[in-house]
Structure 1
Amino acid sequence: MSALPLSTILLNLHNAAAAAGRPDPRLLAVSKTQPADAVAALAAQGQRAFGENYVQEAVAKIDALAALGLEWHLIGHLQSNKAELAAQRFDWVQSVDRPKLVAALAAHRPAALTPLNVLIQVNIDDEDSKHGCTPEAVPALAAAIDAAPTLRLRGLMAIPAPWPEASRRAAAFERMRDLFQALSATHPAVDTLSMGMSGDYPEAVAHGATLVRIGTALFGARH
């Protein structure tokens, strides 16, 4: 897939949201494996939020680009032994999926910083190869996050299976939307449903995504 201009991606997001009668979603530029200068170039066009999969790789970019005041999201699986560094350096962690991780992030988020924004990752298609909690585990995890003063529960994240059938993809997005609405009913401050990537973001937006994670369409195929 060739890279598209940021303006084109934003227009596509706007059009998908308008067609569904929804507000424009936020764009998270997935910058994993991309060099700091590629991030800086996109930031110069107005993009502020960037997503990374690996803590150590991200920290190098966060340090290199500190003067730009960017917003950094961890979207990859987080090992407990990396939770301290993640809690100290990121603005958001989108991949919280177990109580042990909630406790570790809460314990290590510096009190001098604003609370760490947290999304619960849900394995919505019950794939063995995917991380994330079951839908049934969401309420307990949400309660644990909400009880931690150093964390702020913002919503849910998912990576649905890339089914070839549009109906199966839509069903997964709809299950996430229903789960998000149920969570919002018990936690009114929840405002973020992170789903949709380069290959399916228009569908995700049509089904209620408020934040989409796009890498390949912005930066081009990784080598």
Structure 2
Amino acid sequence: MTEQYHRWHSHNLNLDLEMLVFGDRGFPVILFPTTKGRYHQNKDFGLIDSVKWFVDEGLVKIYCPDTIDDRSWYDKGIHPADRARNYAWYDKMLVEELAPWAMHETAVGKVAVAGCSFGGYHAANFAFKHPEMVAHLFTMGGAFDITMFTDGYYDDNIFYNNPVDFLPGSNKPELWQMNIVLGTSEHDMCKDYNIRMANILKEKNINHWLDIRPFADHDWPIWKEMFPHYLSTIK
């Protein structure tokens, strides 16, 4: 499996970001790490190995970027308005830098986004905000309500980066064209978040798959079963 390391300066964040890329062709998949995880986390915990066949066959090319969790939602040392503003810049980086990079390299007009746990939030937020750029959304043990990190503060940056708030009022037609999988499990601490999100999608008649796996916890073993299954739905 081919692996490339990239480091670049994001003009949106005024920060250097790092990323691993697996594969040399195929549908572009942006795969986010879990809470405060680094760009190498999904490799370290075996999630990349679980989909080695898809990469080796040239079906997908997987982009594993850094996040800025410790500068945004998880930074308790700054005001919630600053946490939200920093995340809005991260979202702008994805729109203007990373997603176009992945689409250009693979000559594919849209990306897939995926992630486990808090990585599922990053993936869902991007997909639901920018469905014109996303063909597939795969979340595994995700949670989708960011207000738990905002200490009761609320503004437009929070609203537009909180899928359970902005999605009900969104009528972007590409939402109804997306392949959406919400993966959770019987003992997942985030199961209720997935059920809530599925109900929002159901109310809007947006096709999706709420995949609740039995006898499993919020942990890597079940995510490593889910991810290859979900990649197999890319057409």
Relative to the length of structure 2, the TM-score reads 0.39
Which structure has the highest strand share of the two? 2
